[in-house]
Protein backbone atom coordinates (compact mmCIF):
# COMPACT_ATOMS: atom_id res chain seq x y z
CA UNK A 1 0.00 0.00 0.00
CA UNK A 2 1.50 3.32 -1.09
CA UNK A 3 1.27 6.69 0.64
CA UNK A 4 -1.48 8.01 -1.64
CA UNK A 5 -3.76 5.02 -0.89
CA UNK A 6 -3.18 5.35 2.84
CA UNK A 7 -3.91 9.08 2.71
CA UNK A 8 -7.16 8.45 0.77
CA UNK A 9 -8.39 5.87 3.29
CA UNK A 10 -7.56 8.12 6.25
CA UNK A 11 -9.31 11.05 4.57
CA UNK A 12 -12.42 8.91 3.92
CA UNK A 13 -12.57 7.71 7.52
CA UNK A 14 -12.18 11.28 8.78
CA UNK A 15 -15.00 12.45 6.51
CA UNK A 16 -17.33 9.69 7.68
CA UNK A 17 -16.52 10.45 11.30
CA UNK A 18 -17.24 14.14 10.74
CA UNK A 19 -20.58 13.37 9.09
CA UNK A 20 -21.52 11.00 11.90
CA UNK A 21 -20.75 13.63 14.51
CA UNK A 22 -22.82 16.28 12.73
CA UNK A 23 -25.98 14.18 12.18
CA UNK A 24 -28.84 16.21 13.66
CA UNK A 25 -30.76 14.64 16.49
CA UNK A 26 -33.94 15.08 14.45
CA UNK A 27 -32.92 12.07 12.33
CA UNK A 28 -32.77 9.81 15.37
CA UNK A 29 -35.67 7.40 15.97
CA UNK A 30 -38.85 9.34 16.83
CA UNK A 31 -41.43 8.68 19.57
CA UNK A 32 -44.26 7.26 17.48
CA UNK A 33 -46.42 5.86 20.27
CA UNK A 34 -50.22 6.03 19.79
CA UNK A 35 -50.50 8.84 22.35
CA UNK A 36 -47.82 10.90 20.61
CA UNK A 37 -49.36 10.25 17.21
CA UNK A 38 -52.72 11.49 18.47
CA UNK A 39 -51.26 14.58 20.13
CA UNK A 40 -49.31 15.56 17.03
CA UNK A 41 -52.01 14.62 14.54
CA UNK A 42 -53.86 17.11 12.40
CA UNK A 43 -57.32 18.14 13.60
CA UNK A 44 -58.90 16.18 10.74
CA UNK A 45 -57.02 13.02 11.68
CA UNK A 46 -58.02 13.53 15.33
CA UNK A 47 -61.66 13.75 14.25
CA UNK A 48 -61.27 10.50 12.29
CA UNK A 49 -59.71 8.81 15.32
CA UNK A 50 -62.59 9.88 17.59
CA UNK A 51 -65.20 8.75 15.07
CA UNK A 52 -63.59 5.30 14.90
CA UNK A 53 -63.33 5.10 18.70
CA UNK A 54 -67.04 5.92 19.01
CA UNK A 55 -67.83 3.27 16.38
CA UNK A 56 -65.86 0.71 18.38
CA UNK A 57 -67.69 1.66 21.61
CA UNK A 58 -71.05 1.28 19.83
CA UNK A 59 -70.01 -2.14 18.52
CA UNK A 60 -69.09 -3.55 21.91
CA UNK A 61 -72.11 -1.98 23.62
CA UNK A 62 -74.43 -3.68 21.13
CA UNK A 63 -72.50 -6.92 21.58
CA UNK A 64 -72.97 -6.92 25.37
CA UNK A 65 -76.67 -6.04 25.46
CA UNK A 66 -77.72 -8.01 22.38
CA UNK A 67 -75.84 -11.12 23.47
CA UNK A 68 -77.79 -11.17 26.73
CA UNK A 69 -81.08 -10.79 24.83
CA UNK A 70 -80.37 -13.45 22.20
CA UNK A 71 -78.96 -16.01 24.64
CA UNK A 72 -81.93 -15.55 26.98
CA UNK A 73 -84.46 -15.84 24.14
CA UNK A 74 -82.87 -19.01 22.75
CA UNK A 75 -82.73 -20.62 26.20
CA UNK A 76 -86.41 -19.86 26.85
CA UNK A 77 -87.68 -21.10 23.50
CA UNK A 78 -85.65 -24.31 23.68
CA UNK A 79 -87.09 -24.99 27.13
CA UNK A 80 -90.61 -24.26 25.87
CA UNK A 81 -90.23 -26.63 22.90
CA UNK A 82 -89.62 -29.51 25.29
CA UNK A 83 -93.10 -28.90 26.75
CA UNK A 84 -95.01 -29.42 23.49
CA UNK A 85 -95.56 -32.46 21.33
CA UNK A 86 -97.60 -33.28 18.19
CA UNK A 87 -99.38 -35.96 20.22
CA UNK A 88 -100.83 -33.44 22.65
CA UNK A 89 -104.10 -31.59 22.29
CA UNK A 90 -104.24 -27.87 21.81
CA UNK A 91 -105.63 -27.42 25.33
CA UNK A 92 -102.77 -29.43 26.82
CA UNK A 93 -100.22 -27.37 24.90
CA UNK A 94 -101.86 -24.18 26.08
CA UNK A 95 -101.66 -25.29 29.72
CA UNK A 96 -98.00 -26.27 29.36
CA UNK A 97 -97.10 -22.93 27.82
CA UNK A 98 -98.64 -20.71 30.50
CA UNK A 99 -96.20 -17.86 31.26
CA UNK A 100 -93.89 -19.04 28.46
CA UNK A 101 -93.87 -15.72 26.67
CA UNK A 102 -92.38 -16.64 23.29
CA UNK A 103 -94.46 -19.67 22.30
CA UNK A 104 -97.46 -18.43 24.20
CA UNK A 105 -97.63 -15.57 21.69
CA UNK A 106 -98.16 -18.15 18.92
CA UNK A 107 -100.87 -19.86 20.95
CA UNK A 108 -102.59 -16.53 21.46
CA UNK A 109 -102.61 -15.93 17.71
CA UNK A 110 -104.40 -19.25 17.18
CA UNK A 111 -106.94 -18.50 19.90
CA UNK A 112 -107.66 -15.03 18.56
CA UNK A 113 -108.29 -16.36 15.06
CA UNK A 114 -110.56 -19.13 16.37
CA UNK A 115 -112.58 -16.64 18.42
CA UNK A 116 -112.78 -14.29 15.45
CA UNK A 117 -114.16 -17.02 13.20
CA UNK A 118 -117.88 -17.64 13.00
CA UNK A 119 -117.52 -21.28 12.13
CA UNK A 120 -114.96 -23.55 13.79
CA UNK A 121 -115.65 -26.21 11.16
CA UNK A 122 -114.46 -23.97 8.32
CA UNK A 123 -111.47 -25.46 6.50
CA UNK A 124 -110.30 -21.96 5.60
CA UNK A 125 -109.67 -21.44 9.30
CA UNK A 126 -106.50 -23.48 8.97
CA UNK A 127 -105.15 -21.19 6.25
CA UNK A 128 -105.95 -18.10 8.27
CA UNK A 129 -104.18 -19.55 11.31
CA UNK A 130 -101.14 -20.39 9.19
CA UNK A 131 -101.07 -16.84 7.86
CA UNK A 132 -101.26 -15.34 11.36
CA UNK A 133 -98.54 -17.64 12.68
CA UNK A 134 -96.27 -16.85 9.74
CA UNK A 135 -96.79 -13.13 10.25
CA UNK A 136 -96.17 -13.45 14.00
CA UNK A 137 -92.94 -15.38 13.51
CA UNK A 138 -91.73 -12.74 11.07
CA UNK A 139 -92.62 -10.01 13.55
CA UNK A 140 -90.82 -11.76 16.42
CA UNK A 141 -87.73 -12.37 14.28
CA UNK A 142 -87.61 -8.73 13.22
CA UNK A 143 -87.90 -7.67 16.85
CA UNK A 144 -84.96 -9.89 17.73
CA UNK A 145 -82.97 -8.47 14.80
CA UNK A 146 -83.65 -4.91 15.92
CA UNK A 147 -80.49 -3.10 17.04
CA UNK A 148 -77.84 -4.98 15.06
CA UNK A 149 -78.03 -2.93 11.84
CA UNK A 150 -75.45 -0.39 13.14
CA UNK A 151 -72.93 -3.24 13.19
CA UNK A 152 -73.33 -3.74 9.45
CA UNK A 153 -72.99 0.00 8.88
CA UNK A 154 -69.85 0.22 11.00
CA UNK A 155 -68.33 -2.83 9.31
CA UNK A 156 -68.89 -1.26 5.90
CA UNK A 157 -68.02 2.38 6.62
CA UNK A 158 -65.21 2.22 9.22
CA UNK A 159 -62.49 1.07 6.75
CA UNK A 160 -63.32 4.01 4.48
CA UNK A 161 -63.20 6.44 7.40
CA UNK A 162 -59.79 5.04 8.28
CA UNK A 163 -58.78 5.34 4.63
CA UNK A 164 -59.75 9.01 4.70
CA UNK A 165 -57.42 9.50 7.67
CA UNK A 166 -54.74 7.62 5.74
CA UNK A 167 -55.04 9.91 2.74
CA UNK A 168 -54.94 12.97 4.96
CA UNK A 169 -51.82 11.69 6.75
CA UNK A 170 -50.04 11.10 3.46
CA UNK A 171 -51.01 14.59 2.34
CA UNK A 172 -49.42 15.96 5.51
CA UNK A 173 -46.29 13.96 4.68
CA UNK A 174 -45.99 15.61 1.28
CA UNK A 175 -46.66 19.00 2.84
CA UNK A 176 -43.88 18.34 5.35
CA UNK A 177 -41.51 17.41 2.53
CA UNK A 178 -42.40 20.56 0.63
CA UNK A 179 -41.96 22.82 3.66
CA UNK A 180 -38.65 21.35 4.86
CA UNK A 181 -37.24 20.76 1.35
CA UNK A 182 -35.98 17.40 2.48
CA UNK A 183 -37.04 13.79 2.25
CA UNK A 184 -35.37 12.59 5.44
CA UNK A 185 -37.17 10.42 7.98
CA UNK A 186 -38.04 13.30 10.28
CA UNK A 187 -40.08 15.05 7.60
CA UNK A 188 -41.88 11.94 6.33
CA UNK A 189 -42.36 9.70 9.36
CA UNK A 190 -45.02 11.63 11.34
CA UNK A 191 -47.46 11.88 8.44
CA UNK A 192 -46.95 8.26 7.40
CA UNK A 193 -47.37 7.12 11.01
CA UNK A 194 -50.63 9.10 11.30
CA UNK A 195 -51.83 7.50 8.08
CA UNK A 196 -51.06 3.97 9.27
CA UNK A 197 -52.57 4.71 12.70
CA UNK A 198 -55.86 5.81 11.11
CA UNK A 199 -55.88 2.71 8.91
CA UNK A 200 -55.27 0.45 11.91
CA UNK A 201 -58.11 2.06 13.89
CA UNK A 202 -60.44 1.65 10.92
CA UNK A 203 -59.71 -2.07 10.85
CA UNK A 204 -60.00 -2.35 14.64
CA UNK A 205 -63.48 -0.84 14.43
CA UNK A 206 -64.63 -2.73 11.32
CA UNK A 207 -63.42 -6.30 11.86
CA UNK A 208 -65.17 -6.94 15.22
CA UNK A 209 -68.34 -5.28 13.91
CA UNK A 210 -68.49 -7.63 10.91
CA UNK A 211 -67.75 -10.73 13.01
CA UNK A 212 -70.33 -9.82 15.68
CA UNK A 213 -72.96 -8.95 13.07
CA UNK A 214 -72.55 -12.31 11.30
CA UNK A 215 -72.64 -14.09 14.65
CA UNK A 216 -75.91 -12.41 15.60
CA UNK A 217 -77.43 -13.16 12.19
CA UNK A 218 -76.59 -16.82 12.67
CA UNK A 219 -78.17 -17.06 16.13
CA UNK A 220 -81.22 -15.01 15.14
CA UNK A 221 -81.75 -17.38 12.21
CA UNK A 222 -81.56 -20.28 14.65
CA UNK A 223 -84.13 -18.48 16.80
CA UNK A 224 -86.42 -18.10 13.78
CA UNK A 225 -86.00 -21.80 12.97
CA UNK A 226 -87.05 -22.71 16.51
CA UNK A 227 -90.16 -20.53 16.15
CA UNK A 228 -90.96 -22.14 12.80
CA UNK A 229 -90.59 -25.62 14.32
CA UNK A 230 -92.93 -24.70 17.18
CA UNK A 231 -95.40 -23.21 14.71
CA UNK A 232 -95.35 -26.43 12.68
CA UNK A 233 -96.25 -28.45 15.79
CA UNK A 234 -99.10 -26.08 16.64
CA UNK A 235 -100.41 -26.17 13.08
CA UNK A 236 -100.30 -29.97 13.05
CA UNK A 237 -102.27 -30.15 16.30
CA UNK A 238 -104.88 -27.61 15.23
CA UNK A 239 -105.25 -29.21 11.79
CA UNK A 240 -105.91 -32.56 13.39
CA UNK A 241 -108.48 -31.17 15.80
CA UNK A 242 -110.29 -29.19 13.11
CA UNK A 243 -110.37 -32.23 10.82
CA UNK A 244 -111.70 -34.41 13.64
CA UNK A 245 -114.37 -31.79 14.40
CA UNK A 246 -115.46 -31.65 10.76
CA UNK A 247 -115.62 -35.45 10.50
CA UNK A 248 -117.56 -35.75 13.73
CA UNK A 249 -120.03 -33.05 12.79
Each residue's pLDDT tens digit, 49-70: 899 999 999 999 999 999 999 9
Q: Which pLDDT score is estimated for 196? A: 80
- All residues at 6 or more sequence positions from 217 whose CB lies less than 8 Å from its CB, including other chains: 148
DSSP alpha helix (H) spans, 82-184: 90-96, 101-116, 124-145, 149-180
pLDDT tens per residue, range 36-52: 666 666 788 788 889 99
The length of the chain is 249
Q: Which pLDDT score is estimated for 218? A: 94
pLDDT band at 18 (very low <50, low <70, confident <90, very high): very low
Q: Which pLDDT score is estimated for 109? A: 86
Does position 4 have pLDDT exceeding 50, yes or no? no
pLDDT tens per residue, range 192-238: 777 788 888 899 999 999 999 999 999 999 999 999 998 998 888 88
Could you tell me the pTM of the whole model? 0.75
Q: Which pLDDT score is estimated for 149? A: 92
Q: What percent of the chain has pLDDT over 70?
A: 73
Q: Which pLDDT score is estimated for 113? A: 83
pLDDT tens per residue, range 89-103: 888 888 887 766 678
CA distance to 6, 97, 176, 179, 209, per residue, from 225 (Å): 88, 19, 59, 63, 24
Amino acid sequence: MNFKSLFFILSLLFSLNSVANTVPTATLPLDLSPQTLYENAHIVVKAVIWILIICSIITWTIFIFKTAQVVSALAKIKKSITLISPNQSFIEIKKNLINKNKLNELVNEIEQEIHSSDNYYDRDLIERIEYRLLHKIKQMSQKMRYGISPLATIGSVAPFIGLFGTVWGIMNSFIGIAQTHTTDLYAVAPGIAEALFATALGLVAAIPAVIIYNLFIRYIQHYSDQLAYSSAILQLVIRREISQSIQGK
